[in-house]
Amino acid sequence: MFAAISLFVLLSLPHPAFPDTPQKSFEAIAREADAARQADHLIDALKLYSEAVHLHPTWADGWWWLGSILYEQDRFSEAQASFKRFIALSPKPAPAYAFLALCEYETQDYALALHHFELWSNAHSPGKGALLDVASFHWALLLTRAGRFNEALFILAAKAKQRETAPVLTEAIGLASLRMAFLPEDYPPERRESVWLAGMAEVYNAQSESRLSDAYAERLLSHYGQEPNVHYFRGILLRFQGNEDSAAEEFQKELEISPRHVPALTEWAASRLEAGYDSEALSLAKRAIEIDPQSARAHYILGRALLETGSFHESAQELEIAKRLAPESSRVRFALSTAYKRLGRKQDSEREQAAFLALKDKDNVLAPLGDKFKAPQATEHPQ
Amino acid sequence: MINQKIVVLLACSWALAISSVTGHGSTALAQQKPPATSSRTTPDFAALSDAAEKARQEGRNDDAIRLYRQGLSVQPDWKQGLWFLGMLLYEKEQYAEVRDLMRRFVAVEPLAGPGWALLGLSEFQTREYPRSLEHLQHVRAIGLGKQQEMSEALFYHVSVLLTRFEQYDAAMTLLMGLRKSGSSPDLLVEPIGLSALRYPLLPSEIPPARKEMFRLAGEAALADESNRRDEAEKLFSAMAAEFPNEPGVHFLFGVFLLDVRPDDGIREIQRELVIVPYNLTAKLRLADEYLKEEKFDDALRLASEVVQLDPQNPSGFMVLGEALVAKNDLDRGIAALETSRKLRPETVRTHWDLLRAYTSAGRAKDAKREKEEIEQILHPVASQ
């Protein structure tokens, strides 16, 4: 199905590397392998494809089907080797990167899996249906494990929005929501209930069912209010509902438990900024940057707060740092464009405005990086 | 506890593991044609195979493991090698390796129930729960052959996983079945408590501070199942007194009381809805009770709330339809029941409701179709 080279095309080509007799033998074996696969005789197909690629190691389709059957049988390390061979031989290996990454996930080569998911994302034919669904889910799990919680939640919440309510999705969302850099297979069992409750709260939040979301979030707070990240998560939910004052209280509570919690400080600053308390936002964002100078979001919030207080030069400086740390963020570009405009730097402002328009609506982590700077689609301002 | 039992059970013979597939024991197996990989078989393999078997029978497990590994490096599809190495490593709690071996084993022996069982049990230990449940459910479909001793372990693990995947009713049915088959109540109390209170946790994931709550719920449910009603009520009452603010507690007690003293049952479920206003299961159970008591307006209100909060809830539409039909609002009632049927076509009660509603509406043809549907569900073979 995903084979980049048609088997029939491939079989019609003479192969100079093989003398007559073995070539015939290869063709016969390949035909038998395909027939066995199509008849669902997978054990036979497996043996025949193995023999065929042994005879003809550059037969890309053979490696593809071999990998697919081994993957189907959960024999991931063997499937992994086959997909690697396919990728090396194929001019358009995009879907195979996803399969390779899925195999690497199973064999616990997590760094490689993450890398290959990223290659998959940057390619232009990610596949569709079940592959897209399964691969993006596992990619999100690995993003969570790598501490890239917002990117993970971006993927997972999109699934929840489509009214998917599978328990595995809830668990994955719970882990990312509570900023637990674990996989579902390896987090401490005593955290299971909190992960479930957070997952349910976020699933319902993604579905705009705020009453149900609140019910689970309150259950989470009642038992786990002293655990790190719980008040932060509650604050995020409250911000989503537009309840900035209550959100600020939750971020404050989080900081009592985790005094160096940069996301809590940053979101508290964002919340204050939204409510019009610019100087408070300024001070909170500065505190966040003191703890983590690499926080793009903290620099962005500080830049916006400075913009609001009329410190345009300092604002531009902060937003330039944010841009360097998060070059794909459309919001940073919009704010920077505004700061340059206030400083009278028309050309710079127009450049950032163009970048904003190009990046807008492409915050989706699945969008290839190259695509993000293409064809502007809208002229609206960010929220 | 259950895992120790599995280890003992795994000391079963190769014949039992494979006989569900071939119908033959090891002697017959030895007479089978060599596998297609036999071209790679060398005289060394036969010697390795004998030595591994001898070491295993003499209890020299480390030697046996080494020899089985060597044999499998020569002949990767060697079924006996895969099985016995898996068994020996399971005993040593090397579950990830057992899992990989059993994946290879079931690939060459896809109808071997014990192989799938060992695979699912290993995946349970490596915490790959979705896959574990899928494979253990597969064993339920294809059977364990002669190795029925493994069935307790199988059903236990399936039931706790069903609970973790929020399939509480199916889990409860299996757990009560295990009790009737003689499984120890000690083994079942916590899983039953979790399932009854509708918490998607494994027993090992129970928060220590609420272990007692799940124990009380489990013991009460077991007492109720054995018709020890007084004992059950004391236990439920103790649970509600000790954990008055925990979600699920008053609902569970209330459901029990509905059969004993319905008014008290209604009061308990109402308490549940004060604690968890959006407990849809509680709303539905209460609506159902109101239907029985012919309080149709109350039933209608609750069922409407359920479908508003969860527009994919088949039971919600079923109870809503029943309430509407009871209030003689046939058109809207039928529409709700049809939605329920669409969402979950296998529910017989919905078809009965529709049969009656269509009959009342003079839609004889539709009523006849519902009757046929009921027959099809209740007697699938006979109606084919």
Task: List the single residue in A73, A193, A222 with the smallest CB-CB distance to B103.
Answer: A73
Question: pLDDT tens across A109-154, in order?
Answer: 999 999 999 988 887 666 777 888 899 999 999 999 999 999 999 9
Q: What is the 3-state secondary structure (H, E, C) of A198-219?
A: HHHHHHHHHCCCHHHHHHHHHH
Say if residue B265 is in the same domain as residue B296: no
Is residue B34 assigned to a domain?
A: no
Let me know: does B120 contact B89? Beta carbons within 8 Å. no
Confidence at residue A25, expressed as pLDDT on a 0 to 100 scale: 80
How close is the nearest chain B Cα to the Cα of A22, in Å?
A: 18
Are B222 and B304 part of one and the same domain? no
Cα–Cα dist B121/B98, whole Å:
10
Whether residue B297 sits in one domain with residue B270? no
CA distance A98 to chain B (A): 19
Q: Is residue B36 part of a domain?
A: no
Chain A residue with CA closest to B278: the answer is A212
- State which H helix or E strand residue B324 sits in: helix B314-326
* Residues of A in Cβ contact (< 8 Å) with B204: 189
B183 and B306 inside one domain: no
CB-based contact B276 A190, cutoff 8 Å: no
Q: Which of residues 181-220 of A touch B (CB under 8 A)?
A: 184-186, 189-190, 192-193, 196, 209, 211-212, 215, 219
pTM for this entry: 0.85
Final residue of a domain: which of B137, B157, B177? B157
Contact list in A for residue B200 (CB cut-off 8 A) is 167, 196
Question: Which one of A75, A185, A212 has the shortest CB-CB distance to B128?
Answer: A185
Alpha-carbon span B35 to A76, nearest angstrom: 23
* Domain ranges within chain A, ordered by starting residue: 1-127
- Chain B residues in contact with A46 (beta carbon < 8 A): 107
Which residues of chain B lie closer than 8 angstroms to A189, CB-CB? 202, 204-205
Contact B164 A167 (CB under 8 A): yes
**B243 membership: H or E segment, kind and range:** none
DSSP 8-state symbol, B1 = -
What percent of chain B has pLDDT above 70?
87
Same domain, B266 and B284: no
The first and second tokens of residue A264, run together, are: 């809590």
User: Which of B220, B245, B277 lies at the terminal end of a domain, its last residue?
Assistant: B277
Instruction: Determine the pLDDT at residue A12.
Output: 29
CA R_g for chain B: 26
Same domain, B235 and B190: yes
Helices (H) and strands (E) in chain B, counts: 22, 0
Is the domain of B10 the same as that of B58? yes
Do B95 and B145 fall within a single domain?
Answer: yes
Each residue's pLDDT tens digit, B326-345:
999 999 999 999 999 999 99
| Number of domains, chain B | 3
State the pLDDT at residue B145.
76
Q: Are the beta carbons of B74 and B46 closer than 8 angstroms? A: no
Q: Do B309 and A211 make contact, defined as CB atoms within 8 angstroms?
A: yes
Q: Does the distance separating the beta carbons of A189 and B205 come in below 8 Å?
A: yes
What is the pLDDT confidence band of residue A13, given thresholds at 50, 70 and 90?
Answer: very low
Split at pLDDT 50, 70, 90, the class of B220 is very high
Nearest partner of A261 among A240, A291, A306, A218, judged by Cα: A291
C-alpha distance from A55 to closest chain B C-alpha (Å): 16
Model confidence at B89: pLDDT above 70: yes
How far is A325 from A302, CA to CA, in rounded Å?
14
Q: 3-state DSSP call for residue B221? A: helix
**Which tens digit of pLDDT belongs to each residue from A183-222?**
999 999 999 999 999 999 999 999 998 988 999 999 999 9
- The three-class DSSP label of residue B39 is helix
User: Does the CA dihedral B249-B255-B258-B259 come out positive or negative?
Assistant: negative
**pLDDT at residue A381 above 60?**
no
Query: Nearest-CA residue of chain B relative to A200?
Result: B200
Amino acid at B226: S
Looking at chain B, which residue has its C-alpha nearest residue A76? B100
Q: Token pair 């449940």 is at which residue?
A: B133
| Mean pLDDT within B185-208 | 96
Give A330-340 pLDDT, tens digit per residue: 999 999 999 99
Say if CB A345 and CB A101 are below 8 A apart.
no
Q: Does residue B321 lie in a domain region?
A: yes
Residue B109: partners with Cβ closer than 8 Å, 6 or more residues away: B18, B21, B79, B115
Which tens digits make up the pLDDT trace of B275-331? 998 899 999 999 999 999 999 999 999 999 999 988 989 999 999 999 999 999 999
A196-205 pLDDT, tens digit per residue, is 999 999 999 9
**pLDDT at res. B339:** 97
Q: Which residue of B has its CA nearest to A51?
A: B37
Please tell me whether residues B258 and B224 are part of one structural domain. yes
Q: How many whole angstroms separate alpha carbon A297 and alpha carbon A350? A: 23
Question: In chain B, which residues have their Cβ closer than 8 Å to the Cβ of A75?
Answer: 100, 103-104, 107
Give the CATH H-level superfamily of domain A1-127: Tetratricopeptide repeat domain (1.25.40.10)
CA gap B231, B223 in Å, rounded? 6
Q: What is the 3-state secondary structure (H, E, C) of chain A?
A: CCCCCCHHHHHHCCCCCCCHHHHHHHHHHHHHHHHHHHCCCHHHHHHHHHHHHHHCCCCHHHHHHHHHHHHHCCCHHHHHHHHHHHHHHCCCCHHHHHHHHHHHHHCCCHHHHHHHHHHHHHCCCCCCHHHHHHHHHHHHHHHHHCCCHHHHHHHHHHHHHCCCCCHHHHHHHHHHHCCCCCCCCCCCHHHHHHHHHHHHHHHHHHCCCHHHHHHHHHHHHHHHCCCCCHHHHHHHHHHHCCCHHHHHHHHHHHHHHCCCCHHHHHHHHHHHHHCCCHHHHHHHHHHHHHHCCCCHHHHHHHHHHHHHCCCHHHHHHHHHHHHHHCCCCHHHHHHHHHHHHHCCCHHHHHHHHHHHHHHCCCCCCCCCHHHHCCCCCCCCCCC
Is B152 part of any domain? yes
Calculate Rg over the CA atoms of chain A: 25
**CA neighbours within 13 Å on the CB side: how many for A159?**
26
Within 10 angstroms of residue B378's Cβ, the number of other Cβ atoms is 11
CA–CA separation, A61 vs B201, rounded Å?
44
**In this structure, are B348 and B271 located in the same domain?**
no
Domain boundary among B135, B157, B179: B157
The ipTM is 0.84
Specify if B258 maps to a domain: yes
**What's B259's domain CATH number?**
1.25.40
A43 and B CB contact within 8 Å: yes
Q: Answer yes or no: are the C-beta atoms of B105 and B86 closer than 8 Å.
A: yes
Chain-chain contact of B36 with A192 (C-beta, under 8 angstroms): no
User: Tokens 């889910």, residue?
Assistant: A137
Is residue B30 domain-resident?
A: no
Is B31 within a domain?
no
Q: Which residue range forms the structural domain that includes residue B113? A: 1-24+41-157
Q: B221 and B291 in one domain?
A: no
Q: Are residues B287 and B260 in the same domain?
A: no
Chain A, chain B: beta-carbon pairs less than 8 Å apart: 57
Q: Which of A75, A192, A211 sits opposite B103 (nearest CB)?
A: A75
Q: For residues B210 and B217, what is the distance between their CA atoms, to the nearest angstrom?
A: 11
Q: What is the pLDDT of residues B23-59, one digit of tens each?
A: 333 333 222 232 333 444 555 899 999 999 999 999 9
* CATH number for the domain that contains residue B75: 1.25.40.10
Give the 3-state secondary structure of residue B311: coil
Q: Which chain B residue is nearest to residue A219, measuring alpha carbons? A: B247
Mean pLDDT of chain B: 89
